Structure 1
């Protein structure tokens, strides 16, 4: 620990505590009234870099760094400004990371820890700067720039905030995490600081800034609407001052009603889908999928077929052809039961000279066995004869089926 720096820091903090009233008066008034304070006190604060004189003929003022500290601590939104100078911080981070890696390579561990400490401080300063800037913008939006009174001033503050958001987005575009990842390399501490921490802050800030930008545009439209209404009201008041005896005419008794009052009441417009609304995309897609194309060929009156008279006739019996393949499979099962011997399906097929396709016959026998109830299937024992596929492993080609009783 540097003893001189420690003493200087204690002296600065003691001076801030002893002269807190003077500092706060200077903060709110903007300058110091030197006639109300001792020259020794004034000179001591100048030596401690608390007060400074920008020019020789200008009154003493607070240092910008101390004013920024007070604005941050007091959350004084009327005076705080957004710090969008991210480029210099990124350059500093890159330099400190290179110093840290070089010190580690040269086995200067004490220096490397000092560089890592500085790098950590700069990273957290950068993340805090981003979060503070976003928080400042949201606080301005929440009170709708309430620290200024007129609508014109609110519009100017809104436009300034939009410019600051654009500057911040441009500064955020300077983050190149592929380069930072290469810079961190295999160093765990550097990857945690330069990649994980910064990437989390970058994602949060980018998302918040997009919401801030849309809210600022909405507020700007509202402010301009207020301004238009205020202008209309001021015009009416000026008209009343110039013509104090003015009285509105009873327009309902006139035969020629001015167009301003000759408007019908609003009606509900016909419902129509908004094809540009992303939230309705799923519903519109499902409706389109359920559409069916129905084409009807309407014939002209001349080409229409004249309907014939309806004649009642005696109903004819309809005979359904039996499923020969199914019946033959049942006979095969019955033969196995009657004989009590194992019988191959192809042997039965050849003995009875069946006309079916052999593959269809085997498939039908297997399907009939699988379709039996569990209580009946337990009486049979089936054996599949076949070969393994020569090309595709795991595929068994059934060539014959042997069915028997258990």
Structure 2
């Protein structure tokens, strides 16, 4: 432990605590009124890198790093800016990972531990930066840029946010997880940091940014609608100020009525089913489920004599179970009797079933989940497949294995 750094850090924190009112005043007003404080206090804070003077003719201000800390701690979304500089962080991660691998190869484990600590800090800083940027965008959207007063200012803030989203998406495109995986190699710590942690944050941020982008476009359309109505209202008010004695004409007395006033009252449109409305899906399914097919035989009016009714002895009608359902039940019974795990396709090939293999697997899955709870607890289902090559998070099931618990 470095004793000098410890003492300097303690002195800095004590100064922040003792002069908290000065610091918060500088945070909200943007500068420090030096006449209200002693020169000794001001010089002490300058020496501790809390205050600084950008120019000789400019008043003292807070250091940007301290302002960023206060914005993060206070969750002050009014002043915070989005940090989309991901390229430098990725380059730093690559360099730190190379230092770590070189130290491990040369058996300098103390240096490797230090490099791994720095790498871990940079990775979590990057993930926190991504989540903070997304949270900041959602905060702006939630209050519809309420920290600005006019509609024009809201439109400018919306366009700025859209540009920041585009920049973040371009920065996220710099992630090359195949290269990061090769860089990590067989090092478990590196794979956890560079592949698992970063990929999880990348997927979450990309999905959130796509939702943010669509919401910003929706808000921009609403703001432009407000802007158009505001301009129309301001134009009418200006017209009334210039011509206070203006009286609208009696358009009903004119022989040629303007098209704007010659509009008939709206009529009720013919009812029609909106199959694209998700909220009506339950009602539509319920209506379709109650439909019954009615077949009527229409006879010609010239046919007056009906056919003779033949009364025969009723024959017993038996309803046989579905063959696919019976085959699945036989599959379950075979697994229980043998006590050995068996996949659905193995049973399918063993018994030369004639069903479609995909329909057979679907029926096995549905039959398993349709079993009563007391019966399902004796069996265990295990899907067999592989992750999708294109879409992350999709798992393609190629077979199902059933066994006893």
Q: Does 1:147 align with 2:147?
A: yes
Q: Does 1:68 align with 2:68?
A: yes
Give the direction of change, closer, same or farther, for the CA distance of 1:394–1:127 in structure 2 (3 Å limit): closer
Give the direction of change, closer, same or farther, for the CA distance of 1:170–1:240 in structure 2 (3 Å limit): same
Give the direction of change, closer, same or farther, for the CA distance of 1:246–1:204 in structure 2 (3 Å limit): same
Partner of 1:108: 108
Aligned length: 288
Q: Secondary structure at the match of 2:122?
A: helix
- Give the CA deviation at 1:257: 1.9
Partner of 2:220: 220
Give the direction of change, closer, same or farther, for the CA distance of 1:269–1:139 in structure 2 (3 Å limit): farther
- Give the CA deviation at 1:192: 0.6
CA distance in 1, matches of 2:270, 2:123: 56
Give the direction of change, closer, same or farther, for the CA distance of 1:93–1:269 in structure 2 (3 Å limit): farther
Give the direction of change, closer, same or farther, for the CA distance of 1:394–1:227 in structure 2 (3 Å limit): closer
Q: Does 1:264 align with 2:264?
A: yes
Partner of 2:77: 77
Partner of 1:96: 96
Partner of 2:229: 229
Q: Does 1:192 align with 2:195?
A: no
**Tell me, which stretches of 5 or more residues in structure 2 are unaligned?**
285-302, 304-348, 352-405
- Give the CA deviation at 1:251: 3.2
Q: Does 1:245 align with 2:245?
A: yes
CA distance in 2, matches of 1:162, 1:269: 41
- Give the CA deviation at 1:256: 2.5
- Give the CA deviation at 1:255: 3.3
CA deviation profile, 1:260-293 (whole Å, cap 9, x unmatched): 2222345648969999x9xx9xx9xxxxxxxxxx
**Tell me, which stretches of 5 or more residues in structure 1 are unaligned?**
284-309, 311-392, 396-406
CA distance in 2, matches of 1:126, 1:200: 12
Q: Which has the larger radius of gyration?
A: 1
TM-score by length of 1: 0.66
Q: Secondary structure at the match of 2:255?
A: coil
Q: Secondary structure at the match of 1:179?
A: helix
- Give the CA deviation at 1:394: 9.1
Give the direction of change, closer, same or farther, for the CA distance of 1:257–1:33 in structure 2 (3 Å limit): same
- Give the CA deviation at 1:208: 0.4
- Give the CA deviation at 1:87: 0.5
Give the direction of change, closer, same or farther, for the CA distance of 1:95–1:266 in structure 2 (3 Å limit): farther
CA deviation profile, 1:337-368 (whole Å, cap 9, x unmatched): xxxxxxxxxxxxxxxxxxxxxxxxxxxxxxxx
- Give the CA deviation at 1:250: 3.8
- Give the CA deviation at 1:3: 1.3
CA distance in 1, matches of 2:350, 2:45: 89
Partner of 2:295: none
Partner of 2:329: none
Give the direction of change, closer, same or farther, for the CA distance of 1:185–1:266 in structure 2 (3 Å limit): farther
The alignment yields a C-alpha RMSD, in angstroms, of 2.8
Partner of 2:42: 42
CA distance in 2, matches of 1:257, 1:214: 43
CA distance in 2, matches of 1:262, 1:5: 83
Give the direction of change, closer, same or farther, for the CA distance of 1:394–1:210 in structure 2 (3 Å limit): closer
CA deviation profile, 1:200-224 (whole Å, cap 9, x unmatched): 0000000000000011011111111
